[in-house]
Amino acid sequence: MMSANEGSSRSHAWQSRYNRRMSMLDDCVAAFLDAMSAEAGLSVNTLEAYRRDGKQFTEFLAARGINDPAHVTREHLTGYIEHLRGKKYATRTVARMTVTVRLVFGFMEAEGLLKSNPARSLPVAKRGRDLPWRRNSDPYRVW
């Protein structure tokens, strides 16, 4: 089991690496990925998905002139979700991308990089339910 001091020293290790440029969203996402890689034991595929999602999110905001996480508002986040829906992403994909944004902002808040978290209550798209499937002896008969 890890002591409180060990977790704290790991946290400070990445902070010293990024402190000089921490105002940039890209750096915050990179710090989040570093922390998840070192502390959460996530799979390579999960980390890659978070990296892609974080990059797309920061590019969306950069195109709107926002590079500082302190300037991100709830409206920016809901606009991002609407942007994803407009690109016709599957509901599961939009949900995963939303969760990534929530995790990144939660990380920044927990590390003291943000005073408030605009993503805290950001809704995550619910996955639609599949139609019930019924086993039938006639493979061409639906019901």
Q: DSSP H helical segments within the chain, as ranges?
A: 4-18, 25-35, 44-62, 74-86, 91-110
Tell me which amino acid residue 73 is.
T
CB 94 within 8 A of CB 80: no
pLDDT of residue 128: 55
Which pLDDT tens digit goes with each residue over 76-92? 999 999 999 999 888 88
**Residues sharing a CB contact under 8 Å with residue 84, sequence separation 6 or more, in sequence order:** 93, 94, 97
- Mean pLDDT, rounded, for 121-139: 59
- Mean pLDDT, rounded, for 97-112: 92
Centroid of chain to Cα 143: 41
Query: Given a cut of 50, is residue 125 above it in pLDDT?
Result: yes
Q: Is the dihedral of CA 55, 57, 60, 66 positive or negative?
A: negative
The model's confidence at residue 38, banded by pLDDT at 50, 70 and 90, is confident
Q: Which two tokens stand for residue 136?
A: 């039938």
Q: Which two tokens stand for residue 68?
A: 């500082």
Q: Give CA separation, 127 vs 59, 103, 124, in Å.
A: 26, 19, 9
Q: Which two tokens stand for residue 10?
A: 């790991």
